[in-house]
Amino acid sequence: MKFHGSFNDDQPLVAADLDIAIVAEVCKRTPSYECWQQESWIACCDDACEFHGEATQESLLALDQDGLVALSAETGLSFDDLVDMLKDYVPGGSPAVYHFVCRHCKAVHYNADFD
């Protein structure tokens, strides 16, 4: 089966200065995930992260201060709005929070988008 076009937007990966072979792997051979807006694949340690689906409320509520600050920056929500949002967060809703894991340092990364 031949695909035309790409599954994933390459811009975030190109911006992270990843090897072109990695960008091609994600953009041409990795099915994208379902999200509200344009997906945004996360890079860490000079590689594309593994996508682990939508974050659970449990995992988000377990974030430490640094994790919450990072998620606040990603979502564009103020810290207080973020904490409020997480109380009612459900996977599949809006905002949706996506869970990525670095294949090298095992760091967990999130990004989010909105309906």
Stretch that binds Zn ion, among 20-28, 32-40, 87-95, 98-106 (CB under 5 A): 98-106
Identity of residue 35: C
Please give the Cα distance from 102 to 46 (Å, whole number). 10
In the bound complex, what is the minimum distance in angstroms from residue 7's beta carbon to Zn ion? 22
Based on the shown chain and the rule CB under 5 A, indicate whether residue 45 belongs to the binding site for Zn ion: yes
The C-alpha angle 105, 107, 110, rounded to 5 degrees, equals 145
Based on the shown chain and the rule CB under 5 A, indicate whether residue 44 belongs to the binding site for Zn ion: yes
Backbone angles phi, psi at 53, to 5 degrees: 85, -170
Nearer to Zn ion, 21 or 105 (CB): 105
Backbone angles phi, psi at 25, to 5 degrees: -60, -50
Query: Which of 95, 102, 108, 113 is close enough to bind Zn ion by CB under 5 A?
Result: 102
Nearer to Zn ion, 29 or 104 (CB): 104
Tokens of 18: 């990843």
Based on the shown chain and the rule CB under 5 A, indicate whether residue 15 belongs to the binding site for Zn ion: no
The residues binding Zn ion (CB under 5 A) are 44-45, 102, 104-105, 107
